[in-house]
Amino acid sequence: MKILIITVGRKNNPGLSEEIADFSGRLSHYADIEWKILPPSDVEKEGEAIVGATNERDYVTLLDEKGKTIDSPGLATFIQKRLNEATHRLVFVIGGAYGVSQKVRDMARTTISLSALTFPHQIVRLILIEQIYRAFTIVRGEKYHHS
């Protein structure tokens, strides 16, 4: 499976960038992972860039505070379903500071929330990549996740 994470924002914390790179490397044993970091702009311009980075074969998942909250085993089930469907590319979208355009919302097939709390975007990147890695270890029955 291929995974694309599209995010709006800057790389501004070297420590977090190292952790994100570490989990991206771990995840590469299970899936091809690609990051697309878009510069902040207005919501409509960000939306155009997000839509332009995807195609109709992608399964787009929007991360949004108003989305469905799932736990780690729930994310594993979600990923397992995408694997079973032979999804070409699973795309996760982390919008900008002011949210995402309606075009992005319309394109998303699923909207999930990582938390009701608000986090800086680079921390969301770290949480997301760790949770995707955790989900794959759950799917594979490996010992990383303790339930």
The whole-number average pLDDT for the span 34-56 is 96
* pTM listed for this prediction: 0.95
The whole-number average pLDDT for the span 73-94 is 96
Confidence (pLDDT) at 14? 84
C-alpha distance from residue 9 to each of 12, 50, 99, 140 (Å): 9, 12, 12, 32
Domains and CATH numbers, the chain: 2-139 (3.40.1280.10)
Nearest residue to 111 via CA among 66, 45, 44, 48 = 66
Confidence (pLDDT) at 101? 96
Confidence (pLDDT) at 107? 97
The whole-number average pLDDT for the span 54-63 is 96
* C-alpha span between 52 and 14 (Å, rounded): 28
Percent of the chain with pLDDT over 90: 84
